[in-house]
Structure 1
Amino acid sequence: MNLALPPDRQPAGTPVVETLEAGTRLVRVHGDHPADAFNPTPQPSRLRGGRFDSLDGDWASTYLGEDGRAAVAETLCRDLPVGGAARLVPRSRLVGRRISTVEVVRDLPVLVLHGAALTQVGAPLELTKSSAGEYLTTRAWARALRLWLPDVAGFRYRCRHDEDLLAHVLFDDGPDAATPRARGALQVVPESTLSLETVAGLALVMEVLRAHNATLA
């Protein structure tokens, strides 16, 4: 893929913004940090970080799946090739990782980035389907989309490897920001955290990997 940078100006169109309703439960794969925390680390290298992270630390972000399958697919499966036979996930990627359920505690406006809605902001399908090699460009798109739509709390898009499942990225611009975005809008569901290294955690991981014709190495 060769994803183009976003245009200098917002394209003509009507961005599709929908409400992520209070009470919605989403799932996150994470490390030792709390599941409802946002990661403020600048990610100027494509070798680290997520698809819509900030290049320079202007915002913090968190990635969540609509369920456990989506959360695992977007984290552990994200580096798998879209095609080809080499479909192995290193077992080391499970070490220290957990999966938790969080609840949205207030309505959040989110920009839809799948289906025909992508055309309304001039974005190609590659924005959510590209490999990590394009992450510097996808992060430039995140900056542009956030600039054009300063009130949205995040983006909703289809998982790269499973178009049947949805993922969200939510943003926290800090306490001094003009709009709260998703700051303070998540709450960990009590007793929902599970280590991916436990029997139950491994069972979920293997279920997702088998669905993607992959396995642990």
Structure 2
Amino acid sequence: MLDEPMPSPVYRFQPHWELLPAGTRLWRMHSSRFAAEEFKPFDPDDPAPGRFHATAGDPYPCLYAATDAETALAETLLRSVPFDIETGSRLVPWASVRGKSLNVVRTRRELKLVSLCSGAALAAVRQDNLLLENEGEEHYRNTRDWARELRAHAPDAMGMIWGSKRNPSRQALVLFGDRLAHLADGPLEALPYRSIADLGSPDGVKEANQLLEPLRSAIREPLHR
């Protein structure tokens, strides 16, 4: 549906909502430059912006997370990674985790999210499953434009939540930093529980591969560091 023009001002999205309770644990894989609870600011020179990143017309900070550790890793590492014919596993280059961390945070308050978790929820915002399943830079340019339009129609949305493409039955989400900036202590607090400070270290790769093993995936360690 993203090849259609953006809706005119006459058309209004009618989102389905999901309330994420205070105290919910969320996992995120992110650059180690950022703290566990820190939102990534908009960067017009970002070489690989995500599906629902900001645009120059709506430059909000964002934070991607998932409902469990393996989904946080899978959503980031397994994009367009095929199964290797010889090993039967998806092999992730070590460079993909160099300088990255896996952390768990806890929500400090209830968060109001636009749900994209069903066909009806997607249709309510004039989309279908292709919004979440297609990949590639051209597609992502369209999804970012759509996210900007959605935010304009839903000014109280603090983010969006959807079913994980790479770990079905689990959920991934994005939070909008500008919609949460008014909270004095921030919307999230970092927890030490099962965090991996350096995913590129030998111990980090070992721990991450234990999480990825049920998904028949693994980080391929370099021969020389």
Question: Which band: TM-score by shorter chain?
Answer: 0.7 to 0.9
Name the aligned partner's letter for residue 158 of structure 2.
A
Query: Distance between the aligned counterparts of 1:51 and 1:170, measured in 2?
Result: 13
Q: Secondary structure at the match of 1:193?
A: strand
* Cα displacement string for residues 164-192 of structure 1 (whole angstroms, at most 9, x for unaligned residues): 2101100112xxxxx53786201111465
Aligned to 1:100: 103
- 1:70 corresponds to: 71
Look at both structures and tell me which one has the larger radius of gyration over its CA atoms.
2
Counterpart of 1:130 in structure 2 is: 134
Match of 2:160 among 143, 155, 164: 155
State how many pairs are aligned: 209
Counterpart of 1:141 in 2: which secondary structure? helix
Displacement after TM superposition at 1:204 (Å):
4.4
Task: Calculate the TM-score normalised by the size of structure 1.
Answer: 0.83
Counting aligned pairs with the same residue, the percent is 30
171, 182, 201: which one pairs with 2:204? 201
* Whole-angstrom CA distance in 1 between matches of 2:116 and 2:181: 17
Give the SS at the match of 1:136.
helix
Q: CA deviation at 1:68?
A: 0.2
Distance 1:28 1:161, change over 3 A: same
TM-score normalised by the chain length of structure 2? 0.80
User: 1:15-164 alignment to 2 at 5 Å?
Assistant: 15-32=15-32, 33-43=34-44, 47-56=47-56, 58-80=59-81, 87-116=90-119, 117-133=121-137, 134-164=139-169
SS at the partner of 1:18? Answer: strand
Q: Which runs of 5+ in 1 are unaligned?
A: 174-178
User: In the alignment, what sits opposite 1:176?
Assistant: none
The answer for unaligned runs of 5 or more in structure 2 is: 221-225
What's the CA shift string for 1:48-105, capped at 9, x where partnerless?
1211001216201000010101100111112325x89694321111112111110100
